[in-house]
Amino acid sequence: MKGAVNAQNVTLRFEFQTWHRFSTAFQQCVVDLVRRASISTLSLEDAVALPLHELRACRRLRDLSLISISNPQEFHPDNDIEPECNTGGHLESLTLYVSDECVEPLFRSPASLLDVSNLQRLAVNATGSDGRKALEIIPSIAQSLTALELRVDDGKGTVFRGFILDLLTGAKEPLVITGYDLCLLDNFPVLSSLLISASYDRHARSLITLASFFSKTQNQSKLEQLQILLCHNVPQLEHEKGSHDLMRLCAHNDWQTLDQSLVGRNMFPMLRTLKLVFRPKDVTTFINAHLISTLHLSLIKVMPRLYALTTPTIEVFDGKCGVPF
């Protein structure tokens, strides 16, 4: 790492090891790297008890990602920071996945010097209670947010692909694993771009949940661009082709509820761009222009106002280039 004198983009993965188990030499090496004044983009991943107070030295830090960071060390005011480092980074982009424990020490502790008053982008994993602190604290101190990503863990712990609405449990109320109840768009007064994830199958009515989320908005939003990522969640005993479930989804009347929540109440007067990205379970046999055309024709019928307003883009993820969730 000694050669990384002018490093600007740094990613460090710790394989879920506890910080104090690393050798002193390794710890110092990491600290020296993180403290380099040249760093503007930093991603810290899969660590326990990481000394996040070292981020106070990152004066040029603009883009911070914390992925699976648990039990961070407490912040204590001390004199180990050089005088010229008394001003921390001014973040413009922040990603938090399974790292909600980091929010208070980083953004509420007097010992932290990170500034989010000009934060433009926030990406949060909102599964269960994860993301609760981020969505509670950050909007109150970062009124400048223009881009928000709400993703929900699929239970695999590594990729964030959607929520599960389980109507098969036999419970009096559906089991909803979603972070949408943690967030109000009214808390983001200048938000112009939203990416939100959900899952679909023949039983889950995820569109109703999405519509309910948007219906909570009480003030006219500045939202211009909406991207919805829909992942195919196939029950273990079912073997239906993904194309069939996808076509059934796009013809479902639940889109009418989404249409009403986004267009009918006039809470989103600036919305002009809608992108739908589908990730079916089976992507090997059916992706073609005819399928996309069929999906468009179905959506024209079930959400006519929203379709006319946005002329949505439809993509079916084929597994060849990156992971959209």
Tokens at 222, concatenated:
């500045």
Gyration radius from the chain CA atoms: 22
In a domain, 11, yes or no: no
pLDDT for 197 beyond 70:
yes
Go through the chain and tell me how many residues it has: 325
Domain count for the chain, please give it: 1
In a domain, 77, yes or no: no
pLDDT for the residue 4: 67
pLDDT for 238 beyond 70:
no
In a domain, 267, yes or no: yes
Residue type, 5: V
In a domain, 205, yes or no: yes
pLDDT for 291 beyond 70:
yes
Q: What is the mean pLDDT of residues 11-28?
A: 95
203 compared with 184, residue with greater pLDDT: 184
pLDDT for 289 beyond 90:
no
Neighbours of 153 (CB within 10 A): 24
In a domain, 12, yes or no: no
In a domain, 282, yes or no: yes
Nearest Cα residue to 76 out of 28, 113, 112, 107: 112
pLDDT in tens, 100-112: 999 998 998 877 7
pLDDT for 79 beyond 80:
no
In a domain, 322, yes or no: yes
- Structural domain of residue 295, as residue ranges? 145-154+162-176+198-325
CA distance 229 to 316: 10
pLDDT for 130 beyond 80:
yes
In DSSP terms, 315 is beta-bridged to 277
Provide the greatest CA pair distance for the chain.
Answer: 65
pLDDT in tens, 30-39: 999 988 889 9
**Region class of 157: left (phi > 0), else alpha (psi between -120 and 50), else beta:** left
pLDDT for 20 beyond 90:
yes
163 compared with 231, residue with greater pLDDT: 231
In a domain, 309, yes or no: yes
* pTM greater than 0.75 (yes/no): yes
Confidence band of 209 (pLDDT split at 50, 70, 90): confident
286 compared with 43, residue with greater pLDDT: 43
pLDDT for 161 beyond 50:
no
CA distance 156 to 165: 16
183 compared with 219, residue with greater pLDDT: 219
pLDDT for the residue 249: 87
pLDDT for the residue 46: 96
pLDDT for the residue 234: 58
pLDDT for 128 beyond 80:
no
Neighbours of 86 (CB within 10 A): 11
